[in-house]
A and B are shown apart, each in its own frame.
Chain A
Amino acid sequence: MSGDDDGLRDYVTSRLPSLRRSAFLMCGDWDLATELTEACLARVVADSRRGAVADPDVYAYADLMEACRRRNRRREHVFVAAAGAEGVAAESILVLDALHKLAPRCRAVLVLRHWDGFEVDAVGAMLDLDDERVDAYERAGLAALERLIEDSRTALAG
């Protein structure tokens, strides 16, 4: 991606929705996700203009995941539906609740691998982890998520 504004605008336009969804899966609040995504993409634009960004996707997702991780240290993980949104399915609430019970880095691996579809090495570059650690986080995260969802379903059924 070049540092010219047309190229940057195209990049921002194409990446904003997916980045914002990833941020929402990380923080559970659409307003916060929008704020974090805007700040992240503004940094991508500013740093790309001065030629400081080699791979904008790695830069953007790494920055966004770090911002979400810092934010999650300071607040409870609470799912907040968008203002005026239709009723959210109970299954979705269970998934989000289970996702947010995972450690932030484990959650980031699952979001980047299973929602954004990045390869293991790309996720490792974004989260500053080696491939084995990414695999380990992924396996542990999926197992924990499955267990949490099953537990929640059982509790609801009971």
Chain B
Amino acid sequence: MTTRLNQLLEHVLDGEPVIGDEIDEIFRRADRMRRRRLQALIGSGAAVVAVIAATGYALTVTLMPGADTSAPAPAASYAAARPSAVADPVLALIAPIADAKLRISPRPPERGSGWRQYSVTDSAGRPRGTIEVAVYHVAEDLCFPVLAAPGKCARTEWAPAGVEYVRYDDEKDPDWQVHQTIARHITDGRTVAVMATGERGADDAAGGKPGLTGAQVQKIATDRRLFDAFGSSEDCFGPSSGACPAFKVPVPDGSD
């Protein structure tokens, strides 16, 4: 049967059609296959990149404390504002000093290059104003302003670790009560401003009191750790200074 089968099959193929341009068609198909594979490879590569980016974003949002995705802060200044991976060191300094009944949390837009801001709420969840902190590089000797006498320099107080400071507390306006301290580290000229303001539009003066007392603000501003809580390149006189909070008593930039 073996030999016969071979012979039988030869006759089966008698009506075989001639080969035309099949060879060229095979190479055209091979080229199309290669293009499809390349497109599939590029597509899957793009998908992998997108998945990695999405995973990284999700992990960042999930794991980084205080990273509120709704904050419309500029991306560049946002990234530069993180001095370390540790949870917000400025908040870590403020929270123990504040009244234990108050809750202090980042307030969107919560941070930028050289500044942070926080909301204060009481135990019932009622707002108790804001706390704003900023750092500046002041090259020359700083003339601490005098509210009542523009152009004159205030006499400074001294805190440990080579920090000079001036307190600016203003409670005359019940609707805009402010406790502020400007402190300067005399060896490198770095200057911080810390301001606690009460909730505006409160019904009475007690309701509009800032969440921090003047003494608490002073204690925070003169703590050496506050200077270190900002990155060395952070500066509210820098390129992104437009986003810095407006203080009741602005820090002079030396050109004044």
Residue of B2, B9, B30, B37 near A45 (CB, 8 A) is B30
**CB-based contact A39/B29 at 8 Å:** yes
Residue of B13, B23, B29, B37 near A9 (CB, 8 A) is B23
**CB-based contact B11/A24 at 8 Å:** no
Residue of A30, A49, A88 near B30 (CB, 8 A) is A49
- Cα distance A91–B152 in the bound complex, in angstroms: 120
Can you list 20 A-B pairs, Cβ within 8 angstroms, ordered by A?
A: A5-B27, A13-B23, A17-B19, A21-B13, A21-B16, A24-B16, A25-B13, A30-B15, A30-B17, A42-B33, A46-B30, A49-B30, A81-B15, A82-B16, A88-B15, A92-B8, A92-B11, A92-B14, A110-B5, A145-B5
Q: What 5 additional pairs, Cβ within 8 angstroms, besides A16-B26, A95-B11? A: A41-B26, A82-B17, A88-B12, A95-B12, A96-B12
Complex interface: chain B residues within 8 A of A41 (CB): 26
A residues 25-81 near B (Cβ < 8 Å) are: 25, 30, 34, 37-39, 41-43, 45-46, 49, 81
- Cα distance A43–B13 in the bound complex, in angstroms: 25
- Cα distance A80–B17 in the bound complex, in angstroms: 12
Residue of A45, A96, A145 near B26 (CB, 8 A) is A45
Complex interface: chain B residues within 8 A of A86 (CB): 14-15
How does the 8 Å CB contact mask read for B21-38 relative to A, with 1 for contact and 0 for none? Answer: 011011101100110010
**CB-based contact B16/A30 at 8 Å:** yes
Q: Does A101 contact B (CB under 8 A)?
A: no
**CB-based contact A89/B30 at 8 Å:** no
- Cα distance A86–B13 in the bound complex, in angstroms: 11
- Cα distance A12–B37 in the bound complex, in angstroms: 21
Residue of A9, A13, A114 near B9 (CB, 8 A) is A114
**CB-based contact B22/A38 at 8 Å:** yes
A-B contacts counted at CB < 8 A amount to 90
Q: Does A115 contact B (CB under 8 A)?
A: yes
Q: Does B6 contact A (CB under 8 A)?
A: yes
**CB-based contact A85/B15 at 8 Å:** yes
Q: CB-nearest residue of chain A relative to B27?
A: A45
> How distant is B135 from chain A, measured CB to nearest CB, in Å?
58
**CB-based contact B11/A115 at 8 Å:** no
- Cα distance A16–B23 in the bound complex, in angstroms: 8
Q: Does A83 contact B (CB under 8 A)?
A: yes
- Cα distance A26–B205 in the bound complex, in angstroms: 97
A residues 1-22 near B (Cβ < 8 Å) are: 5, 8-9, 12-13, 16-17, 20-21
Complex interface: chain B residues within 8 A of A42 (CB): 26-27, 29-30, 33
> How distant is B101 from chain A, measured CB to nearest CB, in Å?
70
Of listed B11, B30, B37, residue having the most chain A CB within 10 A: B30
Q: A17-B19, A114-B6, A114-B9 are in contact. Are A38 and B26 (CB under 8 A)?
A: yes
